[in-house]
């Protein structure tokens, strides 16, 4: 009996693993459905006309906005380790002081290539005077936004968000950031990717979990077949021993 239980354990373990990974795959598909609905919303927002808001507003993630204000160039920071078409560079963040007096919004103005001397940051003058700046609202950095450590070396930063900017500079900014999309004569590139809710990522995870469930099922079947073969051999061997032990009648 003890040996039978030991032979059954791999089968039971594989069955439990198959059920677990199947449930995880189903959960990832449900998450993909949720993200798909979000992607539809993001795509619909992208088609809307930019909305004028103040710094106290709570726009939707990815919503097109238009802000009226002046650049506060002294507060510019450079997000390090940004690449464009294989070239190293920076994303340039500058606070925009809104003309309505509601506060400042930190704006990702675009990308610029790094120079040969990494110790020197590129010069990125901000247009003077009151500006109409269009862009998309973001509350949290997109995936893959942060590279390297969390620290900052003067205006060269490894991570940028509204809370961190306010804490390090002492300059309060809105809880959301603006990714500038409008053109400006500043030498910056604004080739932003399409807002992505991550639908394909969750579908990929689901496929991986289902693959593991299939493997667990196969291994469980093989273990069960081997256990059955072993049991049959034991029964046959026992019968043979019993047959050999019989006495011929007198």
Question: What is the token pair recorded at 130?
Answer: 């009151």
| Contact of 142 with 152, CB cutoff 8 Å | no
Question: Do both 72 and 151 map to the same domain?
Answer: yes
Helix (H, G, I), strand (E, B) or coil at 13: helix
Tell me if 190 is assigned to some domain: yes
Question: Do both 66 and 190 map to the same domain?
Answer: yes
| Contact of 73 with 140, CB cutoff 8 Å | no
DSSP per-residue string spanning 184-209: -SSS-B--PPPP---HHHHHHHHHHH
Q: Is the sign of the CA dihedral 98, 99, 101, 102 positive or negative?
A: negative
**Beta pairing partners, 156:** 78, 153
**Beta pairing partners, 2:** none
Tell me if 69 is assigned to some domain: yes
Alpha carbons 211 and 25: distance in angstroms, whole number: 9
Give how many domains the chain has, as a whole number: 2
Whether the full predicted model's pTM is greater than 0.75, yes or no, is no
Question: Do both 207 and 186 map to the same domain?
Answer: no
Only one residue has tokens 């804490």, namely: 167
- Measured between alpha carbons, how far apart are the two ends of the chain, in Å? 38
* Beta strand pairing call for 177-180 and 104-113: parallel
Question: Do both 87 and 183 map to the same domain?
Answer: yes
Question: Do both 183 and 238 map to the same domain?
Answer: no
Tell me if 57 is assigned to some domain: no
Averaged pLDDT, groups of 10, the chain, 250 residues long: 65 88 93 86 84 94 95 94 90 96 96 88 91 92 50 79 92 95 92 80 92 90 76 63 57
Tell me if 181 is assigned to some domain: yes
Question: Do both 69 and 184 map to the same domain?
Answer: yes
Q: What are phi and psi of 6, to 5 degrees?
A: -60, -40
Specify the pLDDT at position 4: 57
Question: What is the token pair recorded at 148?
Answer: 């390297």
Specify the pLDDT at position 1: 52
Cα 164 → chain centroid: 20
Tell me if 54 is assigned to some domain: no
Task: Give the ranges where 47-99 is alpha helix by DSSP (H).
Answer: none
Question: Do both 106 and 208 map to the same domain?
Answer: no
Question: Do both 159 and 127 map to the same domain?
Answer: yes
Question: Do both 142 and 182 map to the same domain?
Answer: yes
For 204, the domain range is 2-41+200-243
Tell me if 174 is assigned to some domain: yes
Name the residue among 100, 88, 14, 102 with its Cα closest to residue 56: 102
Question: Do both 186 and 207 map to the same domain?
Answer: no
Tell me if 164 is assigned to some domain: yes
Alpha carbons 123 and 118: distance in angstroms, whole number: 13
Sorted by sequence, the CB contacts under 8 Å of residue 89 that are 6+ apart come out as 82, 83, 111, 112, 113, 114
- Single out the residue in 179, 194, 209 at which a domain terminates: 194
Alpha carbons 211 and 204: distance in angstroms, whole number: 11
Question: Do both 34 and 136 map to the same domain?
Answer: no
Question: Do both 178 and 213 map to the same domain?
Answer: no
Sorted by sequence, the CB contacts under 8 Å of residue 218 that are 6+ apart come out as none
Tell me if 132 is assigned to some domain: yes
């Amino acid at each position: 009996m003890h040996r039978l239980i030991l032979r059954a354990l791999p089968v039971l373990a594989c069955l439990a693993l198959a059920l677990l990974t199947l449930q995880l795959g189903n959960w990832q598909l449900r998450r993909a459905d949720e993200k798909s609905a979000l992607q539809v919303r993001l795509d619909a927002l992208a088609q809307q006309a930019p909305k004028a808001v103040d710094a106290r507003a709570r726009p939707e993630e990815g919503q097109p906005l238009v802000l009226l204000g002046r650049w506060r160039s002294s507060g510019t920071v450079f997000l390090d380790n940004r690449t464009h078409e294989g070239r190293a560079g920076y994303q340039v963040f500058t606070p925009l002081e809104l003309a309505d007096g509601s506060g400042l919004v930190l704006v990702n103005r675009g990308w610029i290539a790094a120079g040969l001397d990494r110790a020197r940051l590129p010069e990125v003058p901000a247009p003077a005077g009151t500006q109409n700046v269009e862009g998309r609202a973001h509350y949290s950095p997109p995936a893959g936004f942060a590279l390297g450590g969390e620290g900052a070396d003067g205006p060269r930063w490894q991570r940028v968000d509204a809370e961190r900017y306010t804490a390090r500079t002492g300059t309060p900014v809105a809880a959301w950031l603006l990714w500038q999309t409008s053109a400006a004569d500043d030498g910056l590139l604004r080739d932003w990717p399409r807002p992505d809710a991550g639908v394909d990522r969750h579908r990929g995870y689901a496929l991986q979990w289902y693959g593991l469930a299939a493997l667990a099922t196969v291994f469980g079947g093989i273990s069960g077949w081997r256990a059955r073969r072993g049991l049959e051999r034991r029964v046959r061997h026992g019968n043979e021993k019993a047959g050999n032990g019989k006495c011929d009648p007198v």
